[in-house]
Structure 1
Amino acid sequence: MGVSFTFLGSLLVISTNPDLGYEGMVGAIIMGGIFEGIVGLSAKYWRRFLTPVVSACVVIAIGLSLLSVGMDSWGGVSGVEDFGAWYHLFVGTFTLIVCLVSRYLLKGVYKNLNILVGLVLGYLMATVFIVSGIAPMLDFSSVSQTISQVGYFSLPTLVFFTEHKPIFDIGAFFTIAIVFLVSAAETTGATTAVCTGALHRDIKVEELQGSLAVDGFSNSIFGCLPLTSFSQNVGLVTMTGVINRFTICIGALILILASLFPPLGAFFNSIPQSVLGGCTVMMFGSIMYEGIKMLKDCVFDDRTMIIVSLSFCIGVGLTQTTGNFFSAFPQAVGDVFNGNAVAGVFIVSLLLSLFLPKEKNEK
Structure 2
Amino acid sequence: MALALPLGIQHVLAMFVSNLTPPIIVAGTAGFGFGSADPSELIYMIQMAMLFAGIATLMQTVGFGPIGARLPLVQGTSFAFIPLMIPIVAGRGVGAMAELTTAALIGGLVHGGLSVFVGRVRFALPPMITGLVVLMIGLSLMRIGVQYAAGGVPAVGTPAFGAANSWLLAGVVVFATLGLKFFARGIWSTASVLLGLLAGYLVALMMGRISFAAVGAAPLFMVPQPFHFGFALSASAILGFVLTGFVSSIESIGDVEAICEGTAGRPATDAELKGAVAADGAGTALAALFGAMPNTTFSQNVGLIAITGMMSRHVVTLGAVFLVICGLVPKIGAGITTIPIEVLGGGVIVMFGMVASAALSMLAGVTWNQRNMLVFGVSLSLALGLQLEPDALAHLPETARMLLASGVLPAAVLAILLNLLLPEETAGDEEPQAAVIAGDGA
Q: Does TM, normalized by the shorter one, top 0.5?
A: yes
* Cα distance change, pair 7–288 in 1 and its aligned pair in 2 (3 A): closer
**2:190 & 2:102 partners in 1: Cα distance?**
42
* Cα distance change, pair 282–2 in 1 and its aligned pair in 2 (3 A): closer
After superposition, the C-alpha distances for 1:300-344 in whole angstroms (9 at most, x for unaligned) are: 211111111011101111101151416223x12211221x22112
Q: Which moved more, 1:203-212 or 1:172-181?
A: 203-212
User: Residue 223 of structure 2 aligns to a residue in which SS?
Assistant: coil
Q: 1:336 aligns with which of 397, 403, 412?
A: 403
**2:283 & 2:141 partners in 1: Cα distance?**
24
Structure 2 residue aligned with 1:133: none
Structure 2 residue aligned with 1:317: 385
Structure 1 residue aligned with 2:216: 144
**1:194 & 1:279 partners in 2: Cα distance?**
27
Measure how far apart 1:357 and its partner are: 0.7
Q: 2:122 aligns with which of 38, 47, 50?
A: 47
Structure 1 residue aligned with 2:146: 71
**2:339 & 2:267 partners in 1: Cα distance?**
34
Does the aligned pair in 2 maintain the 1:36–1:180 contact within 8 Å?
yes
Measure how far apart 1:99 and its partner are: 1.6
Q: How does 1:233-252 map to 2 (within 5 A)?
A: 234=299, 249=317, 252=320
Q: How does 1:90-239 map to 2 (within 5 A)?
A: 90-107=168-185, 110-130=188-208, 137-146=209-218, 151-159=219-227, 176-186=238-248, 188-189=250-251, 192=254, 209-221=274-286, 223-225=289-291, 227-229=293-295, 234=299
Does the aligned pair in 2 maintain the 1:140–1:270 contact within 8 Å?
yes
**1:129 & 1:277 partners in 2: Cα distance?**
17
After superposition, the C-alpha distances for 1:143-194 in whole angstroms (9 at most, x for unaligned) are: 2343xxxx321212334xx997x68x7xx56761343212431453476479
User: Residue 207 of structure 2 aligns to a residue in which SS?
Assistant: helix
**2:143 & 2:89 partners in 1: Cα distance?**
24
Q: 2:164 aligns with which of 69, 72, 86?
A: 86
Does the aligned pair in 2 maintain the 1:31–1:173 contact within 8 Å?
no
Residue 356 of structure 2 is aligned to residue 284 of structure 1? no
**1:9 & 1:86 partners in 2: Cα distance?**
30
Q: 2:416 aligns with which of 350, 359, 362?
A: 350
**2:303 & 2:275 partners in 1: Cα distance?**
20
* Cα distance change, pair 42–152 in 1 and its aligned pair in 2 (3 A): same
- The residue identity in structure 2 corresponding to 1:346 is A
- The residue identity in structure 2 corresponding to 1:126 is A
- The residue identity in structure 2 corresponding to 1:78 is V
**1:61 & 1:163 partners in 2: Cα distance?**
29
**2:198 & 2:241 partners in 1: Cα distance?**
36
After superposition, the C-alpha distances for 1:75-106 in whole angstroms (9 at most, x for unaligned) are: 23221363322211111111211122222322
User: Residue 357 of structure 1 aligns to a residue in which SS?
Assistant: coil
Measure how far apart 1:43 and its partner are: 0.7
* Cα distance change, pair 319–241 in 1 and its aligned pair in 2 (3 A): farther
**2:316 & 2:147 partners in 1: Cα distance?**
27
Residue 360 of structure 2 is aligned to residue 298 of structure 1? no
**1:98 & 1:356 partners in 2: Cα distance?**
47
Residue 324 of structure 2 is aligned to residue 256 of structure 1? yes
**1:91 & 1:241 partners in 2: Cα distance?**
33
User: Residue 222 of structure 2 aligns to a residue in which SS?
Assistant: coil
User: Residue 93 of structure 1 aligns to a residue in which SS?
Assistant: helix
- The residue identity in structure 2 corresponding to 1:114 is S
- The residue identity in structure 2 corresponding to 1:36 is H
After superposition, the C-alpha distances for 1:5-37 in whole angstroms (9 at most, x for unaligned) are: 524656899x999xxx95x87665543321121
- The residue identity in structure 2 corresponding to 1:46 is V
**2:186 & 2:100 partners in 1: Cα distance?**
49
**1:77 & 1:163 partners in 2: Cα distance?**
25
Measure how far apart 1:269 and its partner are: 1.8
**2:236 & 2:407 partners in 1: Cα distance?**
21
Does the aligned pair in 2 maintain the 1:112–1:241 contact within 8 Å?
no
Which 5+ residue runs of structure 1 have no aligned equivalent?
Answer: 131-136
Name the TM-score, length of structure 1 as normaliser.
0.76
* Cα distance change, pair 274–248 in 1 and its aligned pair in 2 (3 A): farther
- The residue identity in structure 1 corresponding to 2:166 is H
Number of aligned residue pairs: give it: 337
* Cα distance change, pair 25–335 in 1 and its aligned pair in 2 (3 A): closer
Q: Which moved more, 1:37-46 or 1:219-228?
A: 219-228
* Cα distance change, pair 199–156 in 1 and its aligned pair in 2 (3 A): same
Measure how far apart 1:350 and its partner are: 0.8
Q: Which moved more, 1:188-197 or 1:213-222?
A: 188-197
Measure how far apart 1:72 and its partner are: 2.1
